[in-house]
Structure 1
């Protein structure tokens, strides 16, 4: 099945709610540095990250037969692309709490597509893109490759529960060297609309996070997740 590249886009609904689930240390690092950490694409747990589906790979192999550097480029390119993943959902996700936080001490940043767009500061040294991830059958469906961002906007159907929106940066045209990833400049007050504390955390933990955020000079609204609210009978 061929996927038209015009279908690869970002929702035009700037009010679409997105979430990032993370631990306290990563959250505080974001506030202290005023930067958003982006992971190198080849360091993701999914080994298919930034690769091609079988139909696309067969086409690329034909091109590479007369131009071996063509395939080598795509293999090495993954080392030059960094990604920040966000979960699109109107509500909190129990599954995301389970997957991305540990020991009942994580938190979730609530934002919107519009906030992501305005929070990102202009980069002079590399390209940046925000897009929806498309979930496809890698054995049957074709991934366009006329744009170097496209391979990073596709994942296997088994990951559909992630409902992922991605910020993608490509530093291949710059002299930036990457280890595990890259921190990019963001406007924290624009990026974060609200913070939710882990539903199973103790009250002292919420108070700790609130106090630390206040001491860092931010006026971010912090709430306890209501996924564990009292049952009314």
Structure 2
């Protein structure tokens, strides 16, 4: 279930468009299971994920000198927090296609902030938070630590192109160990507004996606990527 947190910044407009770029197998897993996968925070490629900037770390070290559990708590949090990443953009992103799909195959789920909130309602076990990632200079800028989620809502400026919106959950109070991550219940029809097929894919691939979606009982609007539109002369 989506839970509002006054400390976490989120786009005010519920119609803000967000995207998830993924391969066909991961997409089918969502449709077949009715669940969305959230990766454990320390399993991301970015080794800084869930850590603090240098100014913040120096302050935390001083606090932790006589309170070692204080620092250990933040280290353990990385194993208890799971994340689903979305890209905020009014239009498709060529860079996102390149990074998250392979072999000219894959697709993109188009949704909105409002749809994400509503789609999380079927999940009654784990509380979900939605936040906008802040991009900062980790050598100079400060990350607040008065909320356990703050380390997971900041990234280095090198990742600004991601324009990331995150769905975040912390399973600490459930006494649950995460391996690669966590699957949560979602309302698929609410989550997905439209599907875009990879701009370099063949026609047979688009037909395959359409047939699979129809056989599974869904009727999403499915389009070929706008990046492959006909050239007008």
2:210 is aligned to: 210
CA contact (8 A) 1:126 1:173 kept: no
Shift of 1:121: 2.3
CA contact (8 A) 2:119 2:186 kept: yes
CA contact (8 A) 2:122 2:187 kept: no
Shift of 1:8: 4.2
Gaps of 5+ in 1: none
Structure 1: how far apart are the matches of 2:15 and 2:156? 27
1:74 aligns with 2:74: yes
Structure 2: how far apart are the matches of 1:128 and 1:142? 25
Structure 1: how far apart are the matches of 2:90 and 2:144? 30
1:158 aligns with 2:146: no
Shift of 1:231: 1.0
SS of 1:173's equivalent in the other structure is helix
CA contact (8 A) 1:125 1:171 kept: no
> Superposition pairs for residues 83-98 of structure 1, below 5 Å?
83-98=83-98
CA contact (8 A) 2:123 2:186 kept: no
Gaps of 5+ in 2: none
For the aligned residues, what is the CA RMSD?
Answer: 1.4
Q: How many residues matched? A: 229
Question: What's the TM-score, normalizing by structure 1?
Answer: 0.95
Structure 1: how far apart are the matches of 2:135 and 2:194? 28
1:108 is aligned to: 108
Shift of 1:177: 2.2
Structure 2: how far apart are the matches of 1:8 and 1:79? 20
Question: What's the TM-score, normalizing by structure 2?
Answer: 0.95
